Structure 1
Amino acid sequence: MIERLLPAEVSCVETFTDPPGVELFPEEEAVIARAVDKRRREFTTGRWCARQALARLGVAPTPLVTGERGAPRWPAGTVGTITHCAGYRAAAVAHAEKVASLGVDAEPHAPLPDGVLDAVSLPAERAHLAELSATRTEHHWDRILFCCKESVYKTWFPVTREWLGFEDARIEIAPDGTFTAQLRKEGVDQAGHPLTSFTGGWLVDRDLIVTAIALPAR
């Protein structure tokens, strides 16, 4: 599914199960030494997806340890993103000379728990969701919005190394499977250019929501 949302220069791998017998590097084992089984499976399969995707770019296997704010540390010259939810794990990677940052998120296609939407959205976004829901009742637009915001943060942080709150990006979702994020916080990319907006894609398939952003390199 994920490859439908990203350009050809991005290498993507996804799985709907946890492959048996996957081995981690010792540095990665140290990260999850005390993790519960669910977290261990998410972490392990996510790293498996990432290494498969990196191999397609010609990058040799290497430890992918956790860095600042939990983001994976990618091999020099590459960018990437990992996501997981129940029944789905995926990774997307690219050469940094072609893509500046990647943000992918996956969520179950189900309504957000009570009270969450108000905490993660702006009033204008809630009005926008009401308009979408009036004509397209088959989708859980609140969860799609949340998924879009997660992919925005995953794209923003590796470039700026700064926190981005839910209120710092206004999302507009188009029924055609695209979305835009107008950034309400000042930031610049690694070349010093202002970051004002991101564009991405979304899809619903197999009872899952997947959103993705590929920020082109300048």
Structure 2
Amino acid sequence: MEELLPESAVAVESYGDDWAEGASLYPEEQALLTRAVQKRRREFTAVRACARRAMEKLGVPPAPVLPGERGAPQWPAGLIGSMTHCEGYRAAALARATDLASLGIDAEPHQPLPEGVLESVALPAETGRLDRLAAEHPAVHWDRLLFSAKESVYKAWFPLTRKWLDFSEADIDLLPHPGSPGQGPSGRLRARLLVPGPLLDGRRVEVFDGRWTVQRGLVGTVVTVPHA
């Protein structure tokens, strides 16, 4: 994930839940898991272990990460960030609020979306572009990549607006570029907001930019929002 981020941001990732074995939770985090099943406990613990190691990389003392409104993580003062987890993978990305306005990350298994999901996620224009991309690069599951990009856009959007963003309210263009030897497909993404974007220093943000990659059986997407 870190290779997708600008130099001002850091990321820590884990394949599996090994970190959950020795990791500890703060009491206020532990209180959220009183009725959670073991799988949820391990995911919750492992991704927060990633977050605290990311804090260390930024030189920030470790702190609890509690879910806030709509489940968005509440970061220590002066930090912005995002977390993601899927089967076999956990990651957290952080930056200082003075360096970036917001960021969002998402990881998904590199598999086709379940039947019927794409129709609820993609705009007609996006579907047409996915068809063209699939013809040119058939090894990539573009439907899953689009879904992941929409998730990253939302995670970057919500801390700036405190509002819901529907899948239909961002038109995302996935732009591939040739991968380096030994690496999977990768590229850029551009999300055009179809509703009024957030105001940053008096400037209306209408486009979110990001990057994507396909590696180790996973799709990874990152969206970063710089200051005006």
Same fold (TM over 0.5): yes
**Separation of aligned partners in 1, 2:200 and 2:77:** 15
**Separation of aligned partners in 2, 1:188 and 1:153:** 12
Is 1:46 aligned to residue 10 of structure 2?
no
3-state SS in 2 of match to 1:105: strand
**Separation of aligned partners in 2, 1:48 and 1:191:** 33
Please give the residue correspondences for 1:19-34 in structure 2 after superposition, counting only pairs within 5 Å: 19=19, 20-34=21-35
From 188, 198, 203, the equivalent of 1:193 is: 203
**Separation of aligned partners in 2, 1:213 and 1:114:** 26
The unaligned stretches of length 5 or more in structure 2 are 178-186
* Matched AA of 2:104: G
8 Å Cα contact 2:106/2:222 also seen in 1 = yes
Task: Give the equivalent residue in structure 1 for 2:58.
Answer: 57
3-state SS in 1 of match to 2:223: strand
8 Å Cα contact 1:31/1:66 also seen in 2 = no
3-state SS in 1 of match to 2:157: helix
Task: Give the equivalent residue in structure 1 for 2:16.
Answer: 17
Shift of 1:103: 0.3
8 Å Cα contact 2:200/2:227 also seen in 1 = no
TM-score of the aligned structures, taking structure 2 as reference length: 0.93
8 Å Cα contact 1:173/1:179 also seen in 2 = yes
3-state SS in 1 of match to 2:214: strand
In the TM superposition, structure 1's runs of 4+ consecutive aligned residues that sit over 6 Å from their partners are none
3-state SS in 1 of match to 2:101: strand
Task: Give the equivalent residue in structure 1 for 2:67.
Answer: 66
The unaligned stretches of length 5 or more in structure 1 are none
Post-superposition Cα deviations, 1:44-65, rounded to whole Å, max 9, x if no partner, equal: 1111000000111111111111
3-state SS in 2 of match to 1:175: strand
8 Å Cα contact 1:105/1:147 also seen in 2 = yes
Please give the residue correspondences for 1:147-162 in structure 2 after superposition, counting only pairs within 5 Å: 147-162=148-163
**Separation of aligned partners in 1, 2:79 and 2:89:** 23
8 Å Cα contact 1:67/1:73 also seen in 2 = yes
Aligned residues: 217
8 Å Cα contact 1:96/1:217 also seen in 2 = no
Post-superposition Cα deviations, 1:27-81, rounded to whole Å, max 9, x if no partner, equal: 0011222111121111111110000001111111111111000011000010010
**Separation of aligned partners in 2, 1:90 and 1:57:** 15
**What percentage of aligned pairs have identical amino acids?**
53
Task: Give the equivalent residue in structure 2 for 1:108.
Answer: 109
Shift of 1:204: 0.3
**Separation of aligned partners in 1, 2:95 and 2:116:** 37
